[in-house]
Structure 1
Amino acid sequence: MSALAATDATAPQPLLSVRDLTKAFPIRGGLLKREIGSVRAVDGVNFEIGPSETFGLVGESGCGKSTTGRCVLRLIEPSSGELRFEGKDVMSLSGDRLRALRRDIQIIFQDPYASLNPRMTVGAIIGEALTIHGLATSRPQYEARIVHLLETVGLQADHMTRYPHEFSGGQRQRIGIARALAVEPKLIICDEPVSALDVSIQAQVINLLEDLQQRFGIAYLFVAHDLSVVEHISRRVAVMYLGRIVETAASRQLYSTPKHPYTEALLSAVPIPDPSVKRKRIRLKGEVPSPINPPSGCHFHSRCPLAKDICSTEVPKLKESAPGHLVACHFR
């Protein structure tokens, strides 16, 4: 049994299983725009998400976490790897079968200003999915469903006739959540859903997502760079660096006893509200390498305080260092 598999034989099958997922974007140059290289944005990513679970995916900007989320939904086509949703091979789906899958997997986008069509009313934005998937057979049923969704996310019935520019950022993100809920999905990919919002509004949206999970049993792939937000909402967390997952563990375990040097450095930078609490700040040397030409071996070795010769030549495997705690490091 692989390290990613559940250790308990009676554990439920994963809702989503991702194996060796890669995505390379071509770099083109010259007069003929030939491919002269590639950016390996996602480089052999593996994880599983169980029913009604929140799985956090964190890392610096440009590490590949949002690309991973969009590859799962196939908004971006993966270069290689395996995606399974409820045991079905997602990579083999096309046409109507892929559209049917998207009823089960939805996405909440990062920018609540750019993700809503300014020419459509809120009712039309939310109701579009109902029309596409044939979930409302009459106009009264269609409108009643939209009103119910608006009220579910804390908005009012008369908001359905308004346009996105009439709402605040937090209200727009609630509209995006209502749109994702419209088709009763089993998994929602939350692509940094609160990073564009004020801190007080962030808390309201996170609490709403948790309430919806308890009410409807939805699973979340929660993509974010804010470690404190991920700690609050996630049951398990994976840390990404330059396209690879370097550590995965239960949220409480990862935050209390991080194993990978990169995770330790990230956590040391999280502000602590209590000034009496002292914590050593880990400062990494150098800059994040270019994803166009990442370091050989372990991508983190050029900045790692533990690096030895082996780190520049061999890619560390994601292995279990403690029950349920996986780390990709030669020395941990």
Structure 2
Amino acid sequence: MTAALLAARGLAKHYPVLRGIIRARQVGTVRAVDGVSFDLHRGETLALVGESGCGKSTTARLTMRLIEPTAGTIRFDGQDVTHTAGAALRALRRRIQIVFQDPYASLNPRLTVADTIAEPMTVHGIGDVASRKARVAELLRLTGLRPFHASRYPHEFSGGQRQRIGVARALAVEPEVVVLDEPVSALDVSIQAQVVNLLRDLQGRLGLSYLFIAHDLAVVHHVADRVAVMYLGRIVEVAPKRDLFRDPRHPYTRALLSAIPRPDPSRRGAVKPLGGDLPSPMAIPPGCRFHNRCPLAQPVCREQDPPLRDIAPGHQSACHFAEDLPPPEHRVAAAVAPWPHAGSRPTPRPGDRGLPSRPDGH
């Protein structure tokens, strides 16, 4: 496989917990991200999944340098950008953009759509007023909106349309990597399908790389090339999508997949919820951080922290007994329902910058 476009090694973000007003003292540390390593290759979609609070969004913000890491390194296109600052950091942010989870809160209500999309171009000094106006119209068409939408404000659009505006803003500076922080979780299911298929189309046409943050595994099954599973600030399994859904090699991954809702009355009550309590990131248990909830835990799990290691080509797991786990009780891949209106990934066409607009505007 070619060298990674974006690579993280040992990435960590720890927040001190202070007590006191006049003389504040540190009484603990929240380990939001605690040693995350991954690679994102050109044209790939890497999905980062896990429970709420496991550190997915913090990891995304670390890779963009929106927050400073406590430890670890970040490399982009072969260059170490962990401590990049000033003009070099601004240039990096032109190459990595983000689409936020909330399509309303992420847009300035006082700016028109045209001003919202043109603002990144203004910040980075791209083009003049006329060329930016033409670029805004092109991006609106590219994301399925109409040029006359440029003069409207965010409150005049539906949730799906606002998310399309967020996508257009992210594409304004022609990035190579787009971080998608749960981009469809706040949308209705039918609108989710439209936005997800839009993102797939744009990736195929523009050659984008996606870091896709999500907790909805049905969406992940539709869009991802590889999947990284996070638990309590650390990645516990990484594998190609097909391998992870068919034969997960970590008990936590199996618990997540078993919880996918299935329209099958015969499977009522088949979901087995995890036992134990989710540990606090201020008090991570010794050994394997999943051992207090794992139905297969052994004494070694309480004593030794398993590293993320290769168990098959392209498949890594942080479990002492990854190779010895019994076969899954059911084949998850076959049970995941097809995504509504899902289409095949389009073939990239060099120089193709256009997409037909949607008549419904969603």
Q: Same fold (TM over 0.5)?
A: yes
- Indicate the residue corresponding to 1:155 in structure 2: 145
- Indicate the residue corresponding to 1:80 in structure 2: 71
CA separation in 1, counterparts of 2:264 and 2:126?
50
Q: 2:36 aligns with which of 45, 64, 70?
A: 45
SS in 1 for 2:132: helix
| Structure 1 position 61 matched with structure 2 position 37 | no
Pairs within 5 Å for 1:127-138:
127-137=118-128
Aligned-residue Cα RMSD (Å) equals 1.2
Pairs within 5 Å for 1:5-20:
11-20=1-10
- Indicate the residue corresponding to 2:17 in structure 1: 27
- Indicate the residue corresponding to 1:317 in structure 2: 307
CA separation in 1, counterparts of 2:39 and 2:81?
14
**Shift in Å, 1:92:** 2.5
| Structure 1 position 123 matched with structure 2 position 114 | yes
Give the unaligned 5+ runs of structure 1: 1-10
Tell me the TM-score normalized by structure 2.
0.87
| Structure 1 position 193 matched with structure 2 position 193 | no
What is the identity, as a one-letter code, of the residue corresponding to 1:109? F
Deviations 1:286-321 (A, max 9, x none): 221111112111110000011112112211011111
**Shift in Å, 1:279:** 9.0
- Indicate the residue corresponding to 1:100 in structure 2: 91
Deviations 1:32-78 (A, max 9, x none): 23222110011111110100100000000000011000000011111
Q: 1:239 aligns with which of 211, 229, 243?
A: 229
Contact map agreement 1:268 1:279 (CA 8 A) in 2: no
SS in 2 for 1:222: strand
CA separation in 1, counterparts of 2:12 and 2:119?
32
Deviations 1:203-226 (A, max 9, x none): 100000000000000000000011
- Indicate the residue corresponding to 1:298 in structure 2: 288
**Shift in Å, 1:324:** 1.1
**Shift in Å, 1:275:** 4.1
SS in 1 for 2:164: helix
SS in 2 for 1:128: helix
Give the unaligned 5+ runs of structure 2: 323-362
CA separation in 2, counterparts of 1:191 and 1:209?
13
**Shift in Å, 1:281:** 2.4
Contact map agreement 1:149 1:178 (CA 8 A) in 2: yes
SS in 2 for 1:204: helix
Contact map agreement 1:264 1:282 (CA 8 A) in 2: no
What is the identity, as a one-letter code, of the residue corresponding to 1:253? D
- Indicate the residue corresponding to 2:240 in structure 1: 250
CA separation in 2, counterparts of 1:124 and 1:79?
35
Deviations 1:242-295 (A, max 9, x none): 001110000011001011000101100001234456894232112211111121
CA separation in 2, counterparts of 1:35 and 1:163?
45
- Indicate the residue corresponding to 1:4 in structure 2: none
Tell me the TM-score normalized by structure 1.
0.94
- Indicate the residue corresponding to 1:7 in structure 2: none
Alignment coverage as a number of residue pairs: 321
- Indicate the residue corresponding to 1:262 in structure 2: 252
CA separation in 2, counterparts of 1:289 and 1:331?
22
| Aligned-pair identity (%) | 59
Deviations 1:127-180 (A, max 9, x none): 00111112122x221111101011110111111111111111111110000000
CA separation in 2, counterparts of 1:112 and 1:303?
35
